[in-house]
Homo-oligomer: A and B are copies of this chain.
Amino acid sequence: MPKQERAVRTRGRLVLSAAEAFDRQGFAVASLTVISRNAGVSNGALHFHFENKEALAAAVEAEAAERVRRAVGTPDSVPALQALADAAHALTRQLREDVVVRAGFRLGGDASRGSAIGLPQQWHRSVVRLVERAHADGSLSRAVPPSDTAATVAAAVLGFAALARSDPGWLSSGTLAGFWRLLLPRIAADPVESGRLDCEPAEFTGGPGPASPVVTSLGR
């Protein structure tokens, strides 16, 4: 394996191992020794890639932000309200299945450190963009303010994530489908059209692949 690719791979393993530790124990308790051991690399290799624990946390947040950005991006050919429902399902799925995304969101709310990225805010901005598209193309009901709609959608998913900390069922696709069946008839301009929108998650089609080798499992 070329030297550069090996370095990228080692970095990816460290980010994943750090995400697991941060998600399980929080930033303050997570130990660099455990993180490097679980990544299968030496303490020296960890410090070659990351100056300290804060640098690791920042890398987890940045990787989570990038994964969320990719997952909630939808081609403009998808109707705006469907894209909105799909985006919420995509994030819910990531919070359920991807420890890097889950840890990224937890790190942003971890009182033992400050967060520069703010994943909840990034998610809200993505929702705002989709709601504004629905407002612009007339598919959003004129009776509902776009800002209240975006706030409600963004908050609901984050709230399900908060409830899921003690019961993962809150991040099931069924919970979110129920939310959409409740909300869509209220926010869609055309009730008939809204009945055609899919409240269930879209089938996973893989989506655009990562640009560089990304480690998604430590294979332990």
Contacts and interface: CB of A to CB of B under 8 A. Distances in A.
Given A159-B157, A178-B145, A185-B186, A166 B115 contact: yes
A163 interface: yes
Nearest to A184: B186
Contacts of A156: 152, 155-156, 159
Nearest to A160: B155
Please classify how large the interface on chain A is, using the bins under 10, 10 to 19, 20 to 34, 35 or more: 35 or more
Interface stretch (A21-29, A76-84, A200-208): A21-29
A195 to B, nearest CB: 12
A153 to B, nearest CB: 9
Interface of A: 22-29, 106, 108-112, 115, 118, 120-121, 124, 144-145, 147-149, 151-152, 154-163, 165-167, 170, 175, 178-179, 181-183, 185-187
